[in-house]
Amino acid sequence: LTELRSASAELKALRAELASTQQLAAQHSEEAGRLRAALNESLSQGSAAGSAGAAAQAALAELQVTLRERDAELARLSSQLEEARSAAASRAAEADARLRDEAAALLAARSELGEARGAATTRAVEADARLRDEAAALLAARSELGEAQQRDLHTAQASQAAADAER
């Protein structure tokens, strides 16, 4: 996202520079048009205006050179802008791919966690059932032991009573 923001900022700066260059080119184009009109008017006025026409032609030639330079700069800026757009799109696609991969990994981890929870719950339920069964078996054994002790006690008492009666 940081790369995407950086690319976006670069793109905005290049657009601003391109707009500024285009505005300058438009101004120079207007100035060239005025100079051409002045040159045409000067040429039409005859030989008295010949020196002014020559100066206007020189200015026009200079302006044309400036316009060519501006056009070259505009083409260079346009190329840079396109490169920046392409790089930004590439970085955005890479960031999107990374985010999708991370989301897929998170979903897989969540699924594994759900499976692990399910398995743990199943084991806990099974352990609880075993504990209940063992507790029930212990209670039954205790009950049987109590009954056996009670029988033994009655038997011992009966034996004692019989022994006491024989004496």
97-134 confidence digits (pLDDT tens): 888 898 899 899 999 999 999 999 999 999 999 999 99
pTM value is 0.42
Q: How many helices (H) and strands (E) in the chain?
A: 2, 0
Take residue 37 and report the two structure tokens written for it: 């009109």
Which of 4-18, 46-60, 85-99 has the weakest average pLDDT?
A: 46-60
Residue 135 or residue 99, greater confidence? 135
At 46, the pLDDT band (50, 70, 90 cuts) reads low
The reported pLDDT for the residue numbered 158 is 92
Q: In sequence order, which residues have a C-beta less than 8 Å from that of residue 78 and are 6 or more positions away? A: 18
d(C-alpha 31, C-alpha 37), whole Å: 10
